[in-house]
Copies of this chain bind each other. A is one copy, B any other.
Amino acid sequence: MEKGISGAVIRRLSRYYRYLGELTEKKVERISSGELSRIMHVTASQIRQDLNNFGGFGQQGYGYNVKYLYSEIGKILGLDFQHPMILLGAGNLGTALANSPDFEKGGFRLVGIFDINPELEGICIRGLPIRMISELKDFLSSQKVEIAILTLPKEQAAQTADLLIDNGIKAIWNFAHIDLDTPEDVIVENVHLSESLMTLSYNLTEYRKTHDKKS
């Protein structure tokens, strides 16, 4: 039943999860599908369709139990397990990610930080000392790590990815401006910020064209 779920569905589930988390914090116990649809700006039928991929969690006439739905979506997204992560690249972006409290709430626990700049060695971020990449192999052989966050410049990113994979990393969250060449059993989730900015630029340009024609 969970076969062939598209990336778009998963992204919407993550979004539902964020809203349900906020409702949980506000002690909301149950919510109608109409109300959920209104706050999330998604049609009730879209929500139903998305959840039906996983069996559906609503009850006719009752709506959704917030806490239950939050926990079930969390399970689908794999957030009911701890995910030990390491960070490669302790620049501004890496530091921003390391300091994000939202990730820890989702079970993503940072256990090591690595960089190539010897001047950063030993400096602590969130209580973790910055280590040199030369220590990576030993570190990975002594600790269980699932996810590597890659924020190194593209010149170093490709070879570091190879090193990570050779040492057992199965998932890379890639912020480097490069498409990594990885084996099929390694999961890569790319955040290519320049593609996002260009999408914005395209939409702005299209809007201007239409708008200028009209006025």
Contact = CB atoms under 8 A, between A and B. Distances in A.
Identical chains in the assembly: 2
A179 interface: yes
Nearest to A178: B18
A77 interface: yes
A62 interface: no
B193 A100 contact: yes
A185 B203 CA distance: 11
A72 interface: no
Contacts of A202: 10, 13, 76-78
A2 interface: yes
Contacts of A41: 179
A77 B201 contact: yes
Interface in A176-215: 177, 179, 185, 187, 189, 191-207, 211
A7 B7 CA distance: 14
A28 interface: no
Nearest to A179: B41
7 contacts: A14-B199, A41-B179, A92-B92, A92-B96, A102-B194, A103-B194, A103-B197
